[in-house]
């Protein structure tokens, strides 16, 4: 009897611990149920070098491939004709980027960096900006991150305290590594028709060991970006960084590995875009409505995503499936971005992104005292930023 009583007590303690874990750590229950849920193979046929095509056969897909050496239980399945089928990246979250004021009179639609979507490692912020003449981003500092600026319309001039100065035109990009410290200005040009200057700016975290590196710039001109067509010309991909349909970008541009693809799909078009497994991935819709989610033949969840939304994909899966309804009245355009997540704390205050509060306090002190990377800020003032002075 005593033994039975002890067993009953032990069982009660275990049940109590499990209940506590479920209450305070519900994600453990989600992880457990997703682990035991069987994978459901589907029959869509794809390759890595062409867009997906609709299957006219009703044959079921072959059994799932053997488990990889990662935590994922299934990495690929085989279609009925023997082609490799990539597992889809399903949608985890979709966030509308609402317009807000930023800088000096500029308007931005921010998605990453808001309360809904903060610190999506390695990504810190994504702004879809619109800057008219008379507005802009005058002299300001950075430390601890990289910024990627992609100009879609108009022109933007930039200048920093090291004497670097230049201009971005439509389709151009600038990759800036702030490292241990930089002060610069980004200002719009005056367009003859008075139209605003529009683009994207993405902030990417630096690995802790590189936050003290020297600042640098790498410019990428529109004509340097490879362009690939897919799905009989209905899909156009600008391979800014990474690989698409077998075409590689021209060079590595950031310390933190990042893929950046500008994808346009005409009505009736579709694409299967591979993304590195385990990388954080999202899509931001610039124009039109695009279907994202599971591949069409699987019957899984697909979502029609309208303009100005940031769609974050689940970590599991190998490819993003995107298409536009044949009856759509216009094409859809979005950027697909993926990057290596960093296993480190993120402590950010304004333009300073470090890994501890002490480092952020030190960044403020260094900037104020013009030391430890900010020496050249002493007495410096950009020429392009003077137009903002009153």
Report the pLDDT value the prediction gives residue 269, as an integer from 0 to 100.
Answer: 98
- Highest mean pLDDT pick, 10-24, 54-68, 206-220: 206-220
User: Has residue 268 got a pLDDT over 70?
Assistant: yes
Cα separation of 53 and 43, whole Å? Answer: 11
Give the residue from 176, 144, 146 showing the smallest Cα distance to 160.
176
Average pLDDT for 71-98: 71
Say what the pLDDT of residue 37 is.
Answer: 31
Q: Give pLDDT, residue 63.
A: 30
pLDDT at 296: 73
pLDDT given for residue 69 in this prediction: 35
CA angle 49, 54, 56 (to 5 degrees): 130
Instruction: Choose the most confident range, by mean pLDDT, from 68-72, 210-214, 291-295.
Output: 210-214
Going through 114-164 in order, the beta strands assigned E by DSSP cover 123-131, 137-142, 145-153, 156-160
Average pLDDT over residues 58-69: 32
Q: What is the mean pLDDT of the chain?
A: 81
pLDDT of 1 strictly over 60: no
Report d(CA 275, CA 361) in Å as an integer.
37
The pLDDT of residue 83:
54
Does the pLDDT at position 173 exceed 80? yes
Using one digit for the tens of pLDDT, what is the confidence trace for 20-50?
333 333 333 333 333 223 332 333 333 333 3
Kindly give, in sequence order, each residue whose CB lies less than 8 Å from that of residue 346, ignoring residues fewer than 6 positions away: 119, 121, 124, 205, 353, 355
Backbone angles phi, psi at 353, to 5 degrees: -125, 105
| pLDDT (0 to 100) of residue 300 | 80
Distance between CA atoms of 189 and 217, rounded to whole angstroms?
Answer: 20
> Does the pLDDT of residue 153 top 80, yes or no?
yes
Choice between 304 and 193, residue whose per-residue pLDDT is larger: 304
More confident residue, 61 or 215: 215
Higher pLDDT, 230 or 194: 230
**Mean pLDDT, rounded, for 361-375:** 97
Per-residue tokens: 285:
């819709």
Report residue 156's pLDDT band, with 50, 70 and 90 as the boundaries.
very high
pLDDT of residue 71: 35
pLDDT at 62 over 70: no
Residue range 61-75: mean pLDDT, rounded: 35
- Cis upstream peptide for 122 (omega within 30°): yes
pLDDT at 170: 97
SS3 246: coil
Q: Tell me the percentage of the chain whose pLDDT exceeds 90.
A: 67
Per-residue pLDDT tens over the stretch 227-238:
999 999 999 999
Over residues 251-265, the pLDDT tens digits come to 778 899 999 999 999
* CA-wise closest residue to 237 among 322, 328, 134, 127: 322
């Amino acid at each position: 009897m005593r033994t039975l009583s002890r067993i009953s007590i032990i069982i009660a303690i275990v049940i109590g611990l499990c209940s506590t874990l479920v209450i305070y750590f519900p994600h453990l229950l989600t992880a457990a149920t997703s682990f035991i849920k069987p994978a459901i193979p589907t029959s869509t046929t794809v390759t890595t070098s062409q867009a997906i095509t609709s299957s006219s056969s009703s044959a079921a897909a072959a059994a799932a491939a053997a488990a990889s050496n990662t935590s994922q239980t299934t990495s690929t399945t085989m279609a009925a004709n023997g082609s490799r089928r990539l597992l889809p990246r399903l949608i985890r979250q979709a966030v509308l980027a609402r317009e807000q004021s930023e800088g000096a009179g500029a308007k931005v639609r921010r998605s990453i960096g808001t309360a809904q979507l903060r610190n999506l490692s390695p990504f810190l912020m994504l702004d879809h900006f619109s800057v008219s003449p008379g507005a802009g981003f005058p002299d300001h500092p950075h430390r601890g991150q990289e910024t990627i600026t992609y100009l879609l319309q108009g022109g933007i001039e930039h200048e920093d305290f090291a004497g670097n100065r230049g201009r971005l035109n439509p389709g151009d990009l600038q990759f800036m590594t702030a490292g241990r410290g930089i002060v610069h200005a980004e200002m719009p040009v005056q367009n003859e028709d008075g139209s605003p200057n529009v683009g994207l700016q993405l902030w990417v975290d630096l690995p802790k060991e590189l936050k003290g590196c020297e600042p640098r710039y790498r410019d990428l001109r529109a004509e340097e970006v490879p362009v690939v067509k897919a799905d009989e010309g209905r899909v156009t991909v600008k391979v800014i960084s990474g690989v698409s349909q077998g075409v590689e970008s021209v060079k590595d541009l950031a310390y933190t590995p990042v893929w950046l693809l500008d994808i346009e799909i005409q009505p009736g078009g579709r694409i299967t875009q591979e993304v590195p497994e385990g990388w954080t991935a999202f899509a931001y819709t610039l124009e039109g409505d695009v279907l994202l989610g599971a591949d069409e033949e699987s019957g899984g969840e697909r979502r029609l995503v309208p303009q100005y939304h940031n769609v974050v994909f689940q970590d599991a899966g190998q490819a993003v499936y995107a298409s536009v309804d044949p009856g759509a009245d216009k094409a859809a355009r979005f950027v697909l971005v993926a990057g290596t997540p960093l296993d480190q704390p993120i402590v950010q205050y304004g333009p300073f992104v470090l890994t501890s509060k002490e480092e952020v306090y030190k960044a403020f002190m260094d900037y104020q005292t013009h030391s430890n990377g900010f020496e050249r800020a002493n007495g410096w003032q950009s020429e392009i930023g003077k137009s903002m002075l009153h």
